Amino acid sequence: MKSVIVIPTYCEAANIQAVLDGVLDASRGSDILVVDDNSPDGTAALARATGDRIGGVVVLDRPTKDGLGGAYRAGFALAIDRGAEICVQLDADMSHDPAALPALISNVEHGADLAIGSRYVPGGITEDWPWQRRALSRWGNRYAAGVLGLAVNDATGGLRAYSVDALKRMDYATVETEGYGFQVEMTHRLVRADGRIVEFPITFRERTVGESKLSNGIVNEAFVLVLRLWLQDRRGRRSRRRHGG
């Protein structure tokens, strides 16, 4: 199955070459698609130069910084146009080890609709995070899973692979969230579409170069998103009861 690894970037000049080299070493059979949001530090140019050296890299330039969700929607659309059967998500900050990519892709090749490299299943590890950040992430995942009934341990995890059939079935192009809540909304949609989700343990490392994109606004967006999705589910259940579903 053809896989395309989608890497959204904004000001990742210090990391992008190492990420692309790591992806090439781990998964030579995959195409690589960098989606850059007009980074002022030259990330896109570095990605193209690395692509000229290693091959198999396409860079999609977006005109403005328009959010993680928008970058992934644009990346998925182009990947599908280029014949992808599996779309992989990978952050550019080196927090995720590209060596996990073969296992991620293999899970989808063997029948999963979504495979998640998880920090919160047995064997999963988070390194070099302050306790406040670790507590926020862990609480946020428990909150999302508990309120929405997701039965997923790492609903915010960013290392993922989707089957293209699943992306189409869940109508990914209409997912509205732009920040890190995009992962939650995508997970929620796939659960509601009866998708098969597999989690396997990874080691997540705090970035050592560059700046985190996490902000209070993104955290608040995710909190409100869970409430919105819960209300959406509740209205759906009421509608089905009224119509005898």
pLDDT digits (tens, 9 = 90+) for 195-209: 999 999 999 988 666
Q: What is the Cβ-side half-sphere exposure of residue 82, based on CA atoms within 13 angstroms?
A: 21
Contact 31, 3 (CB under 8 A): yes
Contact 118, 157 (CB under 8 A): yes
Terminal Cα-to-Cα distance of the chain (whole angstroms) = 37
Torsion angle in degrees (nearest 10) through CA of 148, 151, 156, 160: -130
Place of tokens 């293209």: 164
**pLDDT given at position 216:** 57
Q: Is residue 234 part of a domain?
A: yes
Q: Is residue 41 part of a domain?
A: yes
Residue with the bigger pLDDT between 174 and 211: it is: 174
Q: What is the CATH number of the domain that holds 138?
A: 3.90.550.10
Residue with the bigger pLDDT between 118 and 232: it is: 118
Give the C-alpha separation, 190 to 238, whole Å: 21
The band of 237, judged by pLDDT with boundaries at 50, 70 and 90, is low
- Per-residue pLDDT of 2-26, as tens digits, reads 999 999 999 999 999 999 999 999 9
Burial class (CB in 10 A: 0-12, 13-18, 19+), 122: exposed
Q: Does 125 score more than 70 pLDDT?
A: yes
Q: Does 215 score more than 70 pLDDT?
A: no
pTM, 2 dp: 0.89
Give the C-alpha separation, 94 to 149, whole Å: 31
**pLDDT given at position 245:** 55
**pLDDT given at position 177:** 86
156-189 burial code (b ≥16 CB/10 A, e <16): bbbbbbbbbebbeebebeebebbbbbbbbbbbbb
**pLDDT given at position 211:** 60
Q: Is residue 31 part of a domain?
A: yes
Q: Does 162 score more than 80 pLDDT?
A: yes
Task: Find the domain containing 54 and state its range.
Answer: 3-240
**pLDDT given at position 28:** 82
Q: Is residue 128 part of a domain?
A: yes
Residue with the bigger pLDDT between 206 and 36: it is: 36
- Per-residue pLDDT of 65-85, as tens digits, reads 988 999 999 999 999 999 999
Q: What is the mean pLDDT of residues 166-185?
A: 91
Q: Does 187 score more than 60 pLDDT?
A: yes
Q: Does 213 score more than 60 pLDDT?
A: no
| Tokens read off for 112 | 């999963």
Q: Is residue 137 part of a domain?
A: yes
Q: Report the chain's mean pLDDT, rounded to a whole number.
A: 90
Q: Is residue 65 part of a domain?
A: yes
State the total domains in the chain.
1
Q: Is residue 245 part of a domain?
A: no
**pLDDT given at position 137:** 86
Q: What is the mean pLDDT of residues 86-110?
A: 95
Q: Is residue 140 part of a domain?
A: yes
Of 99-108, 194-203, 223-232, the poorest mean pLDDT is in: 223-232
